[in-house]
Amino acid sequence: MPSSSPMSPARRRFLTDTARMAGGCAVAGLGLAYITSDARALPAEALRPPGALPEDDFLSACIRCGLCVRDCPYDTLKLAELGMDGPATGTPFFTAREIACEMCEDIPCVAACPTGALDKSLTNIDDAKMGTAVLVDQENCLNFLGLRCDVCYRVCPVIDEAITLEVRHNDRSGHHAIFAPTVAADRCTGCGICEKSCVLPEAAIKVLPIRLARATSADHYRKGWEEQAEKGGPVLDGIIDLPDRLPGPGTDNLAAPGGYEPAFKLPGAGQ
């Protein structure tokens, strides 16, 4: 066949081979993309090491070398094994209830990371955000039952900041107190020592990924009381102050004796 014919055999073969190869690769690529997307679902109980980038970025940065695992002095970190652990195979994680993060001051796992999947800008371990502790079960928490367990509070490395005991009245007994363990999410590092130490067979306080543990505040809400406190007076000038309907003397609420003083008084504003 002359080479000037519309479709020489060599050209035909080249085009067929290329099309076959491209088709095969498209199928292989789709399969691979499917597996990678499947591997992106991080289970809630699997926590990433301190300084880990957000999960999507983490999977483009972590080369799964295991150096963070090797340098973890408490054997907290593990590499996920195929089919055994939830996270993407070969990526580092820890399970708080098994071995929690001990929050080393020199953060050796972050120092060991060669790629920056664990962000070196984390220099103070107290700033870590591996997750947020949430007291998930008040019905079984011993402190909420009126006992003084206090273990999660006592073991917290950021005690009195990340976990505080809030005293409230014990309505069940009528004359005792409840020391409610209360997490301040902005101070909690997610180390998981509270979850690890909870004395119940299944922990009443658990470290959850921040996406599950926290709401986000709506941008359009303004906390008037904060703005007032900042300004030391009403946010708007010349506002007419109407009588506050508070329980107590001088109000028409006769149900409750006593009463509260208003938080502040407007100059010249009467009762």
Partner 1 sequence: MSAKTKSPVGVEAIAAKGWLGAHKWLIARRLSQTAFLMLFLVGPWFGWRVVDGTLAGSRTLNILPLTDPFITLQGSVAGHWPELTALIGALIVLAAYALIGGRMYCSWVCPINPVTDAAHWLHDRLNMPKGWQPKRHTRLWLMATVLVTSALTGTIAWEVINPIAMLHRGLVFGMGAAWGVVIAVFLFDLFVSRRGWCGHLCPVGAFYGLLGQKSLLRVSAPNRAACDDCMDCFAVCPENHVITPALRGKDGDTPLILAPDCTNCGRCIDVCSVDVFTFTHRFDDRMSVATPDAANKAA
Q: Which residues form the interface with partner 1 (CB under 8 A)? A: 17, 21-22, 24-26, 28-29, 32-33, 35-37, 39-40, 56-57, 59-67, 69-71, 78-85, 88-90, 112-117, 120
CB of 107 to partner 1, least distance (A): 15
- Pick 106 or 202: Cβ nearer partner 1: 106
- Pick 116 or 234: Cβ nearer partner 1: 116
Q: Which residue carries 């904060």 as its tokens?
A: 226
Q: Please, which residues bridge with residue 166 across strands?
A: 180
Cα–Cα distances in angstroms (integers) from residue 232 to residues 227, 241, 271, in the given order: 8, 16, 21
Q: Please, which residues bridge with residue 52 across strands?
A: 118
The DSSP symbol for 57 reads H
CB of 101 to partner 1, least distance (A): 19
CB of 261 to partner 1, least distance (A): 57
- Pick 59 or 125: Cβ nearer partner 1: 59
CA angle 183, 187, 191 (to 5 degrees): 80
Q: Which residue carries 């001051």 as its tokens?
A: 105
CB of 102 to partner 1, least distance (A): 20
- Pick 83 or 250: Cβ nearer partner 1: 83
CB of 62 to partner 1, least distance (A): 8
- Pick 66 or 247: Cβ nearer partner 1: 66
User: Rg of the chain's alpha carbons, rounded to an integer?
Assistant: 29
**Cβ atoms of 1 and 50 closer than 8 Å:** no
Closest CA to 94 of 128, 157, 48, 156: 48
